Amino acid sequence: MKRKNAQLMSNVLMGLGLVVMIGGVGYSIVAEVSSWNLPQFFAHGAIFSIFVGALLWLVGARVGGREQVADRYWWVKHFDKRCRGNQHRSSH
């Protein structure tokens, strides 16, 4: 897949994942709080849609090459052995 097409597909998948997650959260909240008598069956499905949306988001990030963790994160800098500068030093 060409780079331009991969970026476009990545953006579409990540956007779709975001819409599905927000829609699932919104429906769950409206079903619990409102008096519209929405079916509870769909409320449980809406909670599942949050995970489906997150999966779409991650697939989009993978396609676009955005899934790598940057070295600027504190945890990675301090606890990931690949990022520490003392690899060649002795531990004595």
Do residues 40 and 49 make contact, with C-beta atoms less than 8 angstroms apart? no
Instruction: State residue 51's pLDDT score.
Output: 93
Residue ranges in the chain whose pLDDT is less than 70? 1, 66-78, 80-92
Is the pTM higher than 0.85? The answer reads no
Going by C-alpha positions, the residue among 55, 3, 2 that lies closest to residue 24 is: 55
pLDDT for 80: 64
pLDDT score recorded for residue 17: 94
Residue 14 pLDDT: 92
Q: Are the CB atoms for 13 and 63 separated by under 8 Å? A: yes
